[in-house]
């Protein structure tokens, strides 16, 4: 099937060890109980490469922010380098920073004179995210050509969500996933859309590669792994 790729991922963890007195932390104080330790915020999630297999991307009917009727795979993904995230326009938590990050990515790419990367933001609230609402949302973040906001029927969008392993109990539960793909070479990596723009760019640039070269997949995965702080398998 199209869009399949070889799984590979490695995470590297570095632990700095400091000499401390038994039962005390590095400041000489007793450590806080486990219950008092707060989990890291979503904004601190690192960019990560994953070997999760992406199924064939469906060529379902979608509608963009300009009310154009498109087919998702053949019009927006096939033959292209893409970065895809998942948002909804009334979201007040992770969607604004996710979308702002994409806006910065697009600005940086245009400054580089690189218009190859196509950005796609897919609604997880199709009942309310009409093309008109998506257009207003796109305008709010100064979206330029090459950035498509997608809505459609829930049944069709669910097929896209499933292709990228987006599981939704409710729209508020959607993850900050960014799927970065070089479709012609079947190279895909995943990142947190809440990481810094520089780290996200560090994952995107190697994936762009030379989309006509058969050696792109190995090279892109190797360079992306370096940018993500990982070692390619």
Average of per-residue pLDDT values in the chain: 77
| Single pTM value for the model | 0.71
Tens of pLDDT, residue by residue over 67-125, are 999 999 999 999 999 999 999 999 999 999 999 999 999 999 999 999 999 999 999 99
Question: What are the residues whose beta carbons fall under 8 Å from the beta carbon of 63, sequence distance 6 or more?
Answer: 69, 70, 131, 150, 151, 152
Q: Is 84 helix (H, G, I), strand (E, B) or coil?
A: strand
Question: What are the residues whose beta carbons fall under 8 Å from the beta carbon of 179, sequence distance 6 or more?
Answer: 54, 82, 83, 84, 85, 164, 188, 190
Annotated domain spans of the chain: 45-227
The CATH-assigned architecture of domain 45-227 is 3-Layer(aba) Sandwich (3.40)
Whole-number pLDDT of residue 53: 58
Q: Span 165-170, mean pLDDT?
A: 88
């Amino acid at each position: 099937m199209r869009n399949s790729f070889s799984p590979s991922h490695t995470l590297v963890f570095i632990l700095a060890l400091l000499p401390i007195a038994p039962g005390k932390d590095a400041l000489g104080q007793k450590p806080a109980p486990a219950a008092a330790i707060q989990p890291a915020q979503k904004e601190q999630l690192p960019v990560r490469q994953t070997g999760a297999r992406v199924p064939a991307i469906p060529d379902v009917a979608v509608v963009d922010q300009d009310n154009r009727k498109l087919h998702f795979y053949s019009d927006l993904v096939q033959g292209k380098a893409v970065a895809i995230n998942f948002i909804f326009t009334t979201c007040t938590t992770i969607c604004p920073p996710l979308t702002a990050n994409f806006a910065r990515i697009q600005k940086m790419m245009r400054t580089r004179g690189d218009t190859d990367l196509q950005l796609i933001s897919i609604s997880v609230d199709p009942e309310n995210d009409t093309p008109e609402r998506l257009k207003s949302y796109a305008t709010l973040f100064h979206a330029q050509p090459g950035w498509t906001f997608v809505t459609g029927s829930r049944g069709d969008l669910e097929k896209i969500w499933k292709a990228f392993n987006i599981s939704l109990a409710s729209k508020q539960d959607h993850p900050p996933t960014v799927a970065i793909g070089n479709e012609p070479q079947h190279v895909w990596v995943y990142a947190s859309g809440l990481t810094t723009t520089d780290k996200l760019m560090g994952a995107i640039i190697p994936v762009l590669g030379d989309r006509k070269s058969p050696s792109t997949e190995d090279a892109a995965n190797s360079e992306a792994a370096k940018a993500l702080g990982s070692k390619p398998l």
